[in-house]
Structure 1
Amino acid sequence: MQTPARRRHFLRTNRYSEPGRIYMVTVVVTDRQPVFKDWPSGHPVVQALRQTEEEGTARSLCWVVMPDHIHWLMELQRGDLSSAVARFKSRSTLGINRRMGRSGQFWQKGFHEHALREEEDLRSHSRYIVMNPVRAGLVASVRQYPLWDAIWLNS
Structure 2
Amino acid sequence: MGGYGSGRLHDGRVLCMGGPWVSAIAKDDRFVAGWVTHATRWGIVRGRGNSGGMGGLRMSYRRLYVPGATYFFTVVTYDRRPLFSDPVNVQLLREAFRRVKQHHPFTVEAIVVLPDHIHTLWTLPEGDADFSTRWRLIKTYVSRRCAKTYQPPGSASRQQKSERTVWQRRFWEHLIRNQRDFDNHVAYIHNNPVKHGLATTPEAWPHSSIHRSP
Give the TM-score normalised by the residue count of structure 1.
Answer: 0.78
Q: What is the Cα deviation at residue 11 of structure 1?
A: 1.3
Structure 2 CA distance for aligned equivalents of residues 138 and 45 of structure 1: 20
Aligned match of 1:93 in 130, 133, 143? 143
Matched residue, 2:209: 149
Aligned match of 2:130 in 80, 88, 98? 80
Structure 2 CA distance for aligned equivalents of residues 126 and 50 of structure 1: 21
Indicate the SS of the match to 2:212.
Answer: helix
Matched residue, 1:129: 189
Q: What is the Cα deviation at residue 122 of structure 1?
A: 2.6
Kindly tell me: are residues 53 and 126 of structure 1, through their superposed partners in 2, closer, same or farther at Cα, counting changes over 3 Å?
Answer: farther
Tell me the C-alpha RMSD between the 2 structures. 2.5
Q: Is the 8 A contact 1:48 1:88 kept in 2?
A: yes
Give the partner amino acid of 1:43: Q
Q: What is the Cα deviation at residue 109 of structure 1?
A: 0.8
Structure 1 CA distance for aligned equivalents of residues 205 and 121 of structure 2: 18
* Contiguous gaps of at least 5 residues in structure 2: 1-47, 51-60, 152-158
Kindly tell me: are residues 124 and 79 of structure 1, through their superposed partners in 2, closer, same or farther at Cα, counting changes over 3 Å?
Answer: closer
More divergent stretch after superposition (22-31 vs 79-88): 79-88
More divergent stretch after superposition (13-22 vs 133-142): 13-22
Greater helix content: 1
Q: Is the 8 A contact 2:104 2:134 kept in 1?
A: no
Q: Is the 8 A contact 2:68 2:129 kept in 1?
A: no
Instruction: Tell me how many residue pairs correspond in the alignment.
Output: 144
More divergent stretch after superposition (105-114 vs 42-51): 42-51
Bigger RCO (CA 8 Å, 6+ sep): 1
